[in-house]
Chain A
Amino acid sequence: MTGTASPAIHISGAAALQDETRSPVPSTQREGLTVSMLINGQPYQFNIDSRTSLLDLLRDHAGLTGTKKGCDHGQCGACTVLTDGRRTLSCMSFAAMNDGWEITTIEGLSSADGDLHPMQQAFIDHDAFQCGYCTPGQILSAVACVEEGHAESDADIREYMSGNLCRCAAYPNIVAAVKQARNEMEKA
């Protein structure tokens, strides 16, 4: 979105924004750095400032604002995404380091027809959030937690979900949600 010169103020929907950024806008800052990645199964190419974090790239260049900024320091977990299937704090990763990688954000977790991932449904069922701000990061972390095999016991879930802060403190509900989704993910 950088460098566009339209003086008119226009709020576009998320879809329009994505189409607009699919063909990246050249950066007016520094030497432009070209990076390519597969985000939620879609190929993207960006021309960016070399200092751009993966988080800012997702939010400001790809228009995928489901990934949240909670501290920009790698301390809260709100920005968690999956890079080649592993959970990653996107605020602590330069976008350029992810060149050629496959990124999954919260927008890519449910199917195109709107069916929720078992983890998303479990978070609703167990009221595993209040304000919902840390939720995308919690859910992606939880999916990885199950896939890593770190969701076998309550104590394990608590330990391996401790990189994601929830200030509303839905922690017991998060543990219950991860257990439900684990059982369904293992069946599938």
Chain B
Amino acid sequence: MTTSEAAPLPRENMGQPLARVDGRLKVMGRANYPADIPVNNLAHGLLVASGIARGRVQELHLDEAHAVKGVLDILTHDHIRGELEPPEFGTSGSSSIGPLHDDKIWHDGQIIALVIAETIEAAREAAMRITVDYKEEQPSTSFGSEGTETVAASEVSQQFKEDVKAGDFETAFDAAEVKIDVEYGMPTHHHNPIEMFSTTAYWQGEELTVHEPTQNVYGWKVEIARQLKIEPDRVRVISPYIGGAFGSKGPITPRTAIVALAARRLGRPVRCVVTRSQSFTTQTYRAETRHHIQMAAARDGRITAFKHEGWEVTSRPDPYVVGGTKTTGRLYNYGSVLTKVFLVKTDRPTPSYMRAPAETPYIYALENAMDEMAVALNMDPVEFRRVNDASQDAIEGKPFSSRSLMQCYDEAASEFGWSKRNPQVGSMRDGDWLIGMGCATAVHPANVAPCAVRITLRDDGHARVQTASHEIGTGVQTVAAQLAAEHLGLHPSMVQVEMGDTRLPPAPVTGGSSTTASVCSAIIKACEEIREKLARAAVTANDGPLAGRDPASVLLKNGRLVAADASQALKDVFKHVGSGVIEQYTEFRPDGASPDAVSNLYQGKMEMVSGEKGDMIKYAFGAEFVEVRIHRRTREIRVPRVVGAFSGGRIMNTRTARSQLMGGMIWGISSALHEATEFDWRSARVVNRDLQDYLVPVNADIQDVKVILVPETDTHVNLAGVKGLGELGNVGTAAAIASAVHHATGKRIRELPIRIDNLLG
């Protein structure tokens, strides 16, 4: 392998494009995802899901199902009552809705039974033979449905206590020369990782082991124990590889404890794989949002007033909120800001986080409005952003720890060829294809959380990094090996990484783009402690080449402890230490975290220090440019080119960083043109509950996607200097596409996804 686009040359403050350490296992089919783990004497579980969205189960007819040969058990609400504590809505739990805890139906496709059989085939047959009598009530589907309840998010949410504002919006808006007043909408999205959701549970005496793909092994361990009324120490959760997550495997859903209970009743291991269609109703999702933006500007392009109101769908009992106004309200140098977020309660499952939960919908709305305002001002959209670029946030006046937004715009614009764009709507064509070009800002807070790590260094130069973080495909195992190798002076192949198991030191939920920052900060701290131990032993020794040196001046390099003019092999340094191995257990607590943040981590309670906390605003930025082509007659929409430039502080590995951002931008294309969960509004039921009808891009939908990594150094964000990239890439893309569609056609499509029928006529 010489050079390839997959392995960008590192620029300043960027790590090498080391190939993934788990690559070989993955291409050989030997990476064991949780449902791959071989278990003897396994019984197979299959969920039965509700056919109505609101009401009660009057009677479940189970006789025919029980008669199917091989059926072992069928759990219904008659069996759970009293056996399990109800689920809780919070940081680990997806919802307070406890299916099977009583006969109530809160939403479409709620779990109403679990069939256990000797084989998958028998379980499937039995599940199909169950019939249900319901007492049905009229459900409310979404915005505008009868029977919904609208509440202010700040009045009901523990996570969203305040609507941000600054200055006098009303006066500034009334006085302004140029104004827009617009509404946008983003539909429901389902994560649809390709790995199906599953739980495998077995008991050895009083000890429970759960194999399930999760982004939060510690949080789940504690929540599983609580629901089963046992001590957390009796629960082990294992999830070494995760087949895509995107937020869907962050919060625990009620199925896990139910399957564990089934395994205990049966005295046998049980594996339950959720069908693809059931995953649309028993798992979490991104709720649809509505946005109302009012923006005013002076003729010179300075924004004087910005108002952003958001409406988000949630379930009846749980006030889940994403509240992206906290980001949109801080992004530009507005003269005044007014925001308000509302929740609309419906008969739907509780939504939860999905890749850039707050920013994807809210920045989509803001960046569309920015393009509309640029058009109203007759300004170039890039220059409009430059005029309103900020050195401090508009709400509290805090400085940004670093902000390379306009560098991102300039590098991406240059690569894209933005200067060749004719701003006139409908002016660019290639044969039968109308060409449109648009751009938008990407932004995501740089979050960080407490993390513990154990690093074991042997005198033969082998090291092991252990932490209960999660490899969801981001490359965190690769980055961990690479970073530990760099700091311990070893080749990365000498470092083994173990993650995804509650027997390892605790790590935070893999979410909020915080994993690389948190894990890497803990690794750096642990490696420094190891270096210090070795250095102290070497310099205080009676003899040896490093005796008497300043311990701070010796570093680990190429398997040796090295001073300016002398060095000693690791093996010999270890002789001074008097052991063959150093096992370093280190806890990292980020600045701004509470004193209890680390001890809470062991109890599954995670405290994330958000990018807005502290005396600086810590955000990662990017700029995305897209070209769309729309066929003159058929109105087919293609995206031949996307260019994104991103600054995220220290880039640990240019290869994995590029892939993550590229995948993010394709997610952005998907949210603009493909994805939407559709409902039957009479019944509040999901209509397109499979991968044939829930559209995601296929290979042929995607053409040229270019990622530019813009150098940036930020020593304020965290010890590792990392801002996180997992969610940044798909923020802004949809707005850039909507702007490009407007440029090509003159049509401003404000409701996603943009489809052919929006462009006809």
Contacts and interface: CB of A to CB of B under 8 A. Distances in A.
B663 interface: yes
Say whether chain A's binding surface is mostly helix, strand, loop, or mixed. Answer: loop
A66 interface: yes
Interface string B683-702: 00000001110001111111
A124 B24 contact: yes
Contacts of B268: 7
Interface string A70-86: 11110110100000000
A88 B20 CA distance: 29
Given A70-B196, A173-B6, A176-B4, A110 B28 contact: yes
A133 B29 CA distance: 9
A29 B273 contact: no
Nearest to B691: A75
Interface string B20-61: 101111111111110111111110000000000000000000
B566 to A, nearest CB: 40
B623 to A, nearest CB: 20
Interface in B120-163: 120-122, 124-125
B474 interface: yes
Interface stretch (B240-248, B294-302, B711-719): B240-248
A112 to B, nearest CB: 12
A66 B27 CA distance: 9
A171 B666 contact: yes
A75 B473 CA distance: 22
Interface band, chain A: 35 or more
A157 B666 CA distance: 18
Interface in A16-50: 17, 27-30, 49
A123 B194 contact: no
Given A120-B27, A129-B26, A130-B474, A165 B698 contact: yes
Contacts of B658: 127
B616 to A, nearest CB: 31
A169 B639 CA distance: 15
Nearest to B70: A29
Interface string A41-72: 00000000101100010011001111111111
Contact of A29 (B19, B42, B119, B243): B119
Contact of B120 (A14, A60, A105): A60
A184 interface: no
A148 to B, nearest CB: 15
Interface residues of B, number: 84
A132 B31 contact: yes
A9 B702 contact: no
Given A29-B119, A69-B35, A125-B19, A167 B244 contact: yes
A170 B22 contact: no
B475 interface: yes
Nearest to A52: B121
Given A2-B119, A9-B269, A132-B243, A167 B194 contact: yes
Interface string B250-281: 00000000000000000111000101100000
B655 interface: yes
Given A29-B122, A70-B194, A173 B24 contact: no
Contacts of A139: 27
A134 B659 contact: no
Nearest to B263: A9
A126 B20 CA distance: 10
Contact of A14 (B38, B204, B698): B38
Contacts of B241: 131-132
Contacts of B6: 125-128, 173, 176
Nearest to A120: B27
B289 interface: no
A130 B473 contact: yes
Given A49-B119, A132-B473, A171-B697, A66 B702 contact: no
Interface in B655-687: 655-656, 658-660, 662-663, 666-667, 670
Contacts of B121: 29-30, 49, 51-52, 56
A157 B202 CA distance: 44
Given A8-B41, A66-B30, A120-B28, 13 more contacts: A7-B267, A11-B37, A11-B38, A29-B119, A65-B29, A65-B32, A78-B194, A120-B27, A124-B23, A130-B473, A131-B241, A132-B243, A161-B700
23 contacts: A2-B119, A10-B40, A30-B121, A52-B119, A59-B36, A67-B29, A69-B196, A69-B273, A70-B194, A70-B196, A70-B276, A116-B24, A130-B663, A133-B33, A136-B29, A158-B699, A167-B192, A168-B663, A169-B663, A169-B697, A171-B699, A171-B702, A172-B704
Interface of A: 1-14, 17, 27-30, 49, 51-52, 56, 59-60, 63-73, 75-76, 78, 105-107, 109-110, 116, 120-121, 123-136, 139, 157-159, 161-176
Closest 10 CB pairs of A and B: A66-B29, A133-B243, A131-B473, A130-B473, A132-B26, A106-B29, A169-B666, A65-B36, A162-B698, A120-B27
